[in-house]
Amino acid sequence: MPANRMSVGIIGAGPGGLALGIFLKKAGFRDFTIFDREDGVGGTWRINTYPGLACDVKSHLYSYSFELKPDWSRLWSGQAEILDYFERCARRYELAPHLKLNTEIVSARWDAATTSWQLSTANGEQYSFDVVVSAVGLFTQPAMPNLVEQKPFTGTVMHTARWDHSVDLTDARVAVLGTGSTATQLVPEVAKVAKKVYSVQRSPTWILPKPDRQYTDREKWIFARVPFAKKIYRTRLWLRSESNISVIENGSDKTQEFKGIALRVLESTIPDEELRRKLTPDHPLGCKRLVFATDYLPTLTKPHVEVISSPAKYLRSRSLVTEDGTELDVDVVVCATGYAAADYLGQIDVIGEDGTSLRETWRDGAFAYLGMAVPGYPNFFMLYGPNTNVGSNSVIFMLEAQAHYIVRALKYMRRRRKSYVAVRPETMAQFIAKIDQWMTGTVWLTRCSNYFRAPNGRVVTQWPRSARAFWGMTRRFRAADYTFEPVDAVVEVVNR
């Protein structure tokens, strides 16, 4: 590879892929392509369009640090405004010539002879790049519940990630499966139009208040006109998020404080004792992703809304049957059942050195150095990779830190005229040991089902420290952590 013409293939045009494209441009890398299987940029915020979708991180923090927006309409913006923001960023930084949309990457294969990656698309096209970065996100593979059709269901079943806007919910009987953030955003919206809503729950969730409101014209004026106002505001939001980091520690004061708030909200919103009992979780607060919602609990008290505390099991011609045998007459079943998050890169065949596949390397759960690099997979990086999902801060902050780190690695290679980079197995092993050590004592390891774990129980999605700690660890590209020529054999770094 001519060092001054390194080509980079990025898979995914969500907030992560876009940030990387922008940083590459700023660093003078001209030869890069961002692939996305969708017809536009924005990732999560383009794909998910279900009613009620909004951010649970305040908008001034859920935006790039280098592209602050003074006129966010409200504290926690909705999907359309967030999508518009990312589309504008792509335009502003002139990424269009680098985008290859409607193009799904199905495999990536390392070619040792040419020290390059061969990407194959679903249409059978082939592309070759010196470096490949996966920016496919954590939440792109919807997880469907295993519903057994006892008789062919004549209504509609859909996942929130594939919202079908042609389905009219007006006066319909709708079952919403799930109790995560998505369900809590969706149920109030569905209840506004549907005749009957069943909130079908495997287990209830701790609900924290979300005191959303619009920004006043005065606030927006200050953000736009007063020097540093929006920067200071964002920093305050960031610091406040950081101060909540102990919410990931099992039994910490912060978890107790938040649990107290959640219990008080339940008490004051749900007067019916039986319903309150159904809605009181038995898992420790924080072991699942925190849910912030203000309309959800009041909606569950409405006469046409019913909470069903048994998981959905069967479908019959026009009904849904739960595990305890309750039969619910429904027209539409909406699965707010989340994503196969722990199955990193499950839909792409990544073949590294010696023909080993990432699926095989990760058979006991995904791992990567700083969430970005895996031994045996040279010139391959990831954004939002294993153990980088932050517990109490903005994912955008983490994505920026990773994108900067990757650009630093590529700049190092450009400067030193290197055509090969792979993380050292021993670096990887030490990092995994640290992750395991930091994970000890977190609330995620308590007994509760969440999407954070690989089948063997290892927490593979979560970053067990603060956002500040991650930033500190990624501020510098330490060349000593990497090898710049192939090592004889990549030892098995995790064997668990």
Ligand X SMILES: Cc1cc2nc3c(=O)[nH]c(=O)nc-3n(C[C@H](O)[C@H](O)[C@H](O)COP(=O)(O)OP(=O)(O)OC[C@H]3O[C@@H](n4cnc5c(N)ncnc54)[C@H](O)[C@@H]3O)c2cc1C
Q: In whole angstroms, how close is the CB of 141 to ligand X at the nearest point?
A: 8
The reply on whether position 384 binds ligand X by CB under 6 A is yes
The reply on whether position 22 binds ligand X by CB under 6 A is no
The reply on whether position 383 binds ligand X by CB under 6 A is yes
* Residue among 14 and 376 whose Cβ is closer to ligand X: 14
The reply on whether position 135 binds ligand X by CB under 6 A is yes
Q: In whole angstroms, how close is the CB of 178 to ligand X at the nearest point?
A: 12
Q: Are strands 207-208 and 148-149 parallel, antiparallel or unpaired?
A: unpaired
The one-letter code for the residue type at 333 is: V
The reply on whether position 386 binds ligand X by CB under 6 A is no
* Residue among 157 and 291 whose Cβ is closer to ligand X: 291
Q: Count interface residues toward ligand X (CB under 6 A).
A: 34
Sheet holding 131-134, edge to edge: 99-100, 32-35, 8-11, 131-134, 380-382
Q: Where do the DSSP E strands lie in 219-372?
A: 291-292, 305-308, 312-316, 319-322, 327-329, 332-335, 349-351
Which one among 7, 48, 361, 450 touches ligand X, defined by CB under 6 A? 48
* Residue among 307 and 395 whose Cβ is closer to ligand X: 395
Which one among 9, 17, 376, 378 touches ligand X, defined by CB under 6 A? 17
The reply on whether position 183 binds ligand X by CB under 6 A is no
Q: What is the dihedral of CA 91, 381, 44, 289, to 10 degrees?
A: -140
Kindly indicate which of the ranges 110-118, 236-244, 393-401, 458-466 contains the residues binding ligand X, using the contact rule CB under 6 A: 393-401
- Contact criterion met (CB below 8 Å) for 30 and 95: no
The one-letter code for the residue type at 34 is: I
How is 62-107 classified by DSSP, letter by letter? SS-TTS--TT-SBSS-BHHHHHHHHHHHHHHTT-GGGEE-S--EEE
In angstroms, the CA 491 to CA 481 distance is 15
- Contact criterion met (CB below 8 Å) for 66 and 42: no
Which one among 9, 21, 43, 352 touches ligand X, defined by CB under 6 A? 43
Kindly indicate which of the ranges 137-145, 277-285, 298-306, 475-483 contains the residues binding ligand X, using the contact rule CB under 6 A: 137-145
Question: 222 φ, ψ to 5°?
Answer: -60, -45
Site for ligand X in 299-328 (CB under 6 A): none
3-class DSSP assignment, residue 440: coil
The reply on whether position 348 binds ligand X by CB under 6 A is yes
Residues with Cβ within 8 Å of residue 309, at least 6 apart in sequence? 201, 204, 278
The reply on whether position 237 binds ligand X by CB under 6 A is no
Q: Are strands 116-121 and 126-129 parallel, antiparallel or unpaired?
A: antiparallel
The reply on whether position 59 binds ligand X by CB under 6 A is no
The reply on whether position 212 binds ligand X by CB under 6 A is no
Q: In whole angstroms, how close is the CB of 60 to ligand X at the nearest point?
A: 13
Q: In whole angstroms, how close is the CB of 490 to ligand X at the nearest point?
A: 25
The reply on whether position 89 binds ligand X by CB under 6 A is no
Exposure string (b/e) for 212-225, b if CB count within 10 Å is 16 or more?
Answer: beebeeebbeebee
Q: In whole angstroms, how close is the CB of 406 to ligand X at the nearest point?
A: 13
The residues of the shown chain that bind ligand X, judged by CB under 6 A, are 11-17, 35-38, 43-44, 48, 53, 55-57, 62, 104-105, 135-137, 139-140, 182, 347-348, 383-384, 394-395, 399
